[in-house]
């Protein structure tokens, strides 16, 4: 009977982990945008070139993580610079929850929030330095409310991203 109960608990935990899992990395850093293969029955991803030498491949996350309804409304954005995947972002604007924060803490590790401050009022960022990647979780205000972002960069592409961000910053500073 004891083994049966442990077996049932193990199956439950495994099912829970699979339900919460979301493998949004459908391409490796450095690969071209043509390497992204999606189910052909789904809506094609949107490719948006920008004035800074990048191309953003935008995919609704529910197409990749169908079983994780808590992440519906999140956009998966792959930034390609010189046709190489250089950054992955999960972008979740104006949602009345902190589901992306919960996802980040579950996937990359918990971090402390200020005591007494409800998590839906917190604004800021947290960085995880992993072996090959830097992962940053950000919550910030935007004109319609707030946005949650998970920003993932392979450490080999940090100089490329820094150069790209510098171009974006110069454009923002110019007020154009």
Which tens digit of pLDDT belongs to each residue from 111-120? Answer: 999 999 998 8
* Average pLDDT of the chain, as a whole number: 87
- Of the candidates 122, 103, 33, 32, the residue with the CA atom closest to the CA atom of residue 61: 103
- Distance (Å, whole) CA 101 – CA 70: 11
CB 72 within 8 A of CB 62: yes
Residue 141 is classified by DSSP as E
- Distance (Å, whole) CA 30 – CA 63: 23
Instruction: Please give the residue range of the domain that contains residue 132.
Output: 2-174
Burial class (CB in 10 A: 0-12, 13-18, 19+), 31: middle
Which tens digit of pLDDT belongs to each residue from 8-43? Answer: 555 544 444 444 468 899 899 999 999 888 777 677
pLDDT at 59 over 60: yes
Please tell me whether residue 8 adopts helix, strand or coil conformation.
helix
Global pTM value: 0.83
Q: How many domains does the chain have?
A: 1
């Amino acid at each position: 009977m004891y083994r049966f109960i442990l077996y049932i608990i193990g199956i439950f935990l495994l099912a829970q982990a699979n339900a919460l899992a979301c493998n949004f990395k459908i391409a490796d850093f450095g690969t071209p945008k043509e390497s992204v293969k999606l189910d052909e029955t789904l809506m094609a991803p949107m490719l948006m070139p920008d004035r800074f030498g990048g191309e953003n491949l935008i995919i609704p996350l529910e197409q990749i993580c169908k079983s994780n309804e808590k992440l519906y409304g999140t956009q998966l954005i792959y930034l390609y610079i010189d046709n190489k995947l250089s950054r992955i972002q999960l972008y979740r604007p104006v949602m009345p929850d902190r589901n992306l924060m919960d996802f980040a803490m579950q996937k990359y590790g918990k971090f402390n929030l200020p005591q007494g401050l409800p998590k839906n009022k917190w604004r800021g960022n947290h960085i995880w330095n992993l072996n090959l990647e830097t992962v940053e979780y950000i919550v910030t205000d935007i004109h319609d409310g707030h946005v949650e972002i998970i920003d993932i960069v392979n450490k080999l592409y940090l100089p490329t991203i820094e150069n790209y961000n510098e171009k974006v910053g110069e454009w923002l500073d110019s007020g154009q």
